[in-house]
Structure 1
Amino acid sequence: MKWPIAALLFAPFALGGAAPEPVAPHATLLRPAAVFDGIDPVAHPGWQVLVTGERITAVGPALAVPAGTETIDLPGDTLMPGMIEGHGHLFLHPYNETSWDDQVLHEPLALRTARAVAQAAASLRAGFTTERDLGTEGAGYADVGLRQAIAAGIVPGPRLLVATRAIVAKGAYGPKGFEPGLVIPQGAEEASGVDELVRVVRSQIAAGADVIKLYGDYRWGPGEPSRPTFSVAEMKAAVEAAHDAGRTVAVHTATPEGMRRAIAAGADTIEHGYGGTPEIFRAMAAQHIALCPTLAASDAVARYRGWRGGDPVPEAVAQSRASFALARAAGVPICMGGDVGVFAHGENAREMVLMAAAGMSAAQVLIAATSGNARAFHLSDRGAVRAGLLADLIAVKGNPVAAVDAVQHVAWIMKNGAIVTL
């Protein structure tokens, strides 16, 4: 007997069958020694965290839990939000392994992508459940595909905010040093003039960019100091186009004039800022523009060149430390981002240790790496251990509020309510 199509579509109900009962989301009670919630500058002993599905549903001492809840004990550990890497380059690897020029010019895209997959996994294992990746440095839009692969569960890694190609003024970036007139692959997308800046911003957003990165200054020629690249008008147009599309803007700039232009343009974060002055940092604070000081980048490069960490301190390291102190004194919001890729992925917490060594308290560093970065990047669903937020959580050995280097000893990770195998 042939059944009508309509009867086939609704056969279970027509024959008296019932719709399946919805499956209740899995509930897990986490019982660490203490909880650092990403907001209060203390660790709360005896607190527990209830996770239901992909969200945190309750936080505090002696929680009431539903029947059937799984309990995970984390004795001796401090539970805290998954950390947020504020300035990474998953498509780069340490410069003492391969120079930046050779990575951009000679490494096949498939090789760079395979390495980025491994480096994303290393970052997650280090306790970083979100990463703002600020440019593929010649690898095109490969970060968009990596973000999709991670989101789909194909490969492990942090939740990614990607900047795709980044944007530089024509003639200002690299690689350089070739016959004039030859078209050389660049580490970022070139643009010139207001109209072209807006076009490139929109094309990168259309390709999948979550954040727009501008190079506000750079070295126009080999051996030259950094100088401003984009005009205020160009930067303002780019920022407005990005903000209109709901994207944030990060500006690489280390000169006072480049920083002044980024501030005038309304950037959301300034990367590096090594040449900042008290006046510049006061202007950043007034507009709530965050600084990613990238102390670990200058430290790593100096060590590649033979510095062993003692006195005399290399000029670049001293300058980065001094600007960091000026920014903090001015009340600038501090982003935790180390420019990882210059040094090894998985060692992201190196920046946090250097921030503490440069005068920040351990609690301030931890807040910068969690709720501070979430605020700077407009991520309202993460960065704290609070009911309703994503269950991106890590446990570290000991008390990171007492000694921030505890974050280098991650014992347990949960992302999106699921335990990550280390």
Structure 2
Amino acid sequence: MKTVNLTFTLILSLITSIIAQQKTFDNYILLKPDRVFDGQQMHAGWWVLIKGSRIEAAGEPNSITVPSSVKIIELKGQTVMPGMIEGHSHLFLHPYNQTSWNNQVLNESRAERTARAVNHAKATLMAGFTTVRDLGTEGAAYDDVGLREAIKKGVIPGPRMLVATRAIVATGSYGPKSNVAEASVITGGEEADGIDGITRVVRSQIGHGADVVKLYADYRWGENGTTQPTFTEAELKIAVEVAKSSGRIVAVHSGTEEGMRRSIAAGVTTIEHGDGGTPLLFKLMKEKGIALCPTLAATEAIFTYAGWKKGTDPEPESVTHKREIFKEAMQAGVTICMGGDVGVFDHGDNAREMLLMVDYGMKPIDVLKSATSVNATVFQLNDLGNIKSTYIADIIAVEGNPAEDIKAVKQVKMVMKDGVIY
């Protein structure tokens, strides 16, 4: 009997050892590219060692202890960099030249919009964007929370998501609208007014799973459809106070000078679009540590849909203005987030914004930072956006050197999220 037990113990020990060795083999991956952008700077000849879902080490080959059993991936001619972070996305929208925003909100079923969002999530991940800040479902309620959870559980492939759920708008300011006064029409955001009303809605959205609180500080509700401020400074301040007390960041849509002034005074985290920016406002943003997400690609896309041919036709005044405020923001030292307002244009083409940032005057290396370490810092993603020991292994490889030619970020050859290669 003792012999049988001893034999059984030896067999069990052997099996356990084999399994452990197999796990060790599967657990370690060594990336050997030509260069590594670590979220801060480019390093020629670096290697990256991954253990499970985390980065074990990154640096010169002689600084890394490589396990005897490791999966080695040769990436000749390629740059390894952190998985990119999309700063302004709407996975539940698709390009407006396919279907107008009004018709998407009013006429596409929630099932169709979710089905599209699943495809958009996969396209985003495969384009090298392993994280997105999704700033509103635009009429699809809290379905972004469900999408986020489905991705977390591995039901579908997609980026990790920071979601804003319904977004918050002032009553009567947002669309869609009907000419029939008595008609009950779905709204693209959740309406709220006053200190009590906004407090309740911010808390409600957080309770429903919002990672980010998104508000519209101005919109096209003025005379003849002009863009005018919506929330008062006091209303914005209470939204920020409530959101930040729960650890949430606050994103504010703003395209007017007064809307931006109120948002800055309220202490928001980011201002989206920022078309009303002035040197004084950008100076205040710099002083208060408020970042700008300029959404250059969305502006150009809208004019393209209207018939503008870039490079052939004269540049629309709004596009020229966007160039000017982008440069003014950089000159003021404002933190620039990479975010294109994807959904206005195709998901998976997120890097379009990065190419425009260079076109508008930003250095390629700074654009790479914006899409990785800068966005991670602004969005409070403490273990993402950099390639360094203990950080989450969200890593991509692109053909060429994007610090020399930013178009390389569109040549994605490998996507890894949580240590898993997709």
Whether 2:185 is the aligned partner of 1:184: answer yes
Normalized against structure 2, the TM-score is what?
0.93
Q: Which amino acid aligns with 1:402?
A: E
Tell me the residue number matched to 1:4. none
Tell me the residue number matched to 2:145. 144
Greater shift in the superposed pair: 309-318 or 240-249: 309-318
Q: Which one of 328, 342, 345 corresponds to residue 343 of structure 1?
A: 345
Asked if structure 1 preserves the Cα contact closer than 8 Å seen for 2:254 and 2:274, the reply is yes
Give the superposition deviation at 1:222: 7.7
1:216-227 to structure 2, matched below 5 A, reads 216-220=217-221, 223-227=224-228
Tell me the residue number matched to 1:278. 279
Tell me the residue number matched to 2:261. 260
Q: Which amino acid aligns with 1:298?
A: T
Q: Deviations over 1:86-129 (max 9, x none)?
A: 00000000000000000000000000000000000000000000
Greater shift in the superposed pair: 214-223 or 346-355: 214-223
Q: Which amino acid aligns with 1:339?
A: D
Give the superposition deviation at 1:221: 5.1
Q: What SS is found at the alignment partner of 2:40?
A: coil
For the residues of structure 2 that align with 1:235 and 1:167, how far apart are their CA atoms? 11
Bigger helix share? 2
Asked if structure 2 preserves the Cα contact closer than 8 Å seen for 1:88 and 1:341, the reply is yes
Tell me the residue number matched to 1:334. 336
Q: Which amino acid aligns with 1:51?
A: I
Tell me the residue number matched to 1:324. 326
For the residues of structure 2 that align with 1:316 and 1:341, how far apart are their CA atoms? 20
Give the superposition deviation at 1:183: 2.1
Greater shift in the superposed pair: 170-179 or 102-111: 170-179
Asked if structure 2 preserves the Cα contact closer than 8 Å seen for 1:47 and 1:59, the reply is yes
Q: 1:141 to 1:284 in 2, by over 3 A?
A: same
Q: How many equivalent pairs are there?
A: 405
Give the superposition deviation at 1:256: 0.8
Tell me the residue number matched to 2:56. 57
Q: What SS is found at the alignment partner of 2:236?
A: helix
Q: What SS is found at the alignment partner of 1:399?
A: coil
Q: What SS is found at the alignment partner of 1:365?
A: helix
For the residues of structure 2 that align with 1:89 and 1:418, how far apart are their CA atoms? 25
Q: What SS is found at the alignment partner of 2:225?
A: coil
Q: Deviations over 1:164-207 (max 9, x none)?
A: 00000000000124212322100000001110101000000000
Cα RMSD after superposing both structures? 1.6
Asked if structure 1 preserves the Cα contact closer than 8 Å seen for 2:273 and 2:292, the reply is yes
Q: What SS is found at the alignment partner of 1:85?
A: strand
Whether 2:198 is the aligned partner of 1:197: answer yes
Q: Which amino acid aligns with 1:96?
A: N
Normalized against structure 1, the TM-score is what?
0.93
Give the superposition deviation at 1:369: 0.2
Give the superposition deviation at 1:322: 1.3
Whether 2:197 is the aligned partner of 1:215: answer no
Asked if structure 2 preserves the Cα contact closer than 8 Å seen for 1:275 and 1:319, the reply is no
Q: Which amino acid aligns with 2:384?
A: R
For the residues of structure 1 that align with 2:181 and 2:58, how far apart are their CA atoms? 62
Asked if structure 1 preserves the Cα contact closer than 8 Å seen for 2:167 and 2:213, the reply is yes
Tell me the residue number matched to 1:9. none
Whether 2:380 is the aligned partner of 1:381: answer no
Segments of 5+ residues of structure 1 without an aligned counterpart are: 1-11
Asked if structure 1 preserves the Cα contact closer than 8 Å seen for 2:178 and 2:185, the reply is no
Tell me the residue number matched to 1:7. none
Give the superposition deviation at 1:230: 0.4
Tell me the residue number matched to 1:122. 123
Tell me the residue number matched to 1:8. none
Give the superposition deviation at 1:223: 3.9
For the residues of structure 2 that align with 1:330 and 1:225, how far apart are their CA atoms? 28
Tell me the residue number matched to 1:290. 291
For the residues of structure 1 that align with 2:222 and 2:361, how far apart are their CA atoms? 35
Tell me the residue number matched to 2:240. 239
Give the superposition deviation at 1:374: 0.3
Give the superposition deviation at 1:65: 0.7
Tell me the residue number matched to 1:391. 393
For the residues of structure 2 that align with 1:309 and 1:198, how far apart are their CA atoms? 44
For the residues of structure 2 that align with 1:222 and 1:125, how far apart are their CA atoms? 44
Q: Which amino acid aligns with 1:242?
A: A
Asked if structure 2 preserves the Cα contact closer than 8 Å seen for 1:281 and 1:332, the reply is yes
1:148-187 to structure 2, matched below 5 A, reads 148-187=149-188
For the residues of structure 1 that align with 2:117 and 2:317, how far apart are their CA atoms? 31
For the residues of structure 1 that align with 2:144 and 2:330, how far apart are their CA atoms? 32
For the residues of structure 2 that align with 1:315 and 1:142, how far apart are their CA atoms? 37
Segments of 5+ residues of structure 2 without an aligned counterpart are: none
Q: Which amino acid aligns with 2:149?
A: Q
Asked if structure 1 preserves the Cα contact closer than 8 Å seen for 2:134 and 2:164, the reply is yes
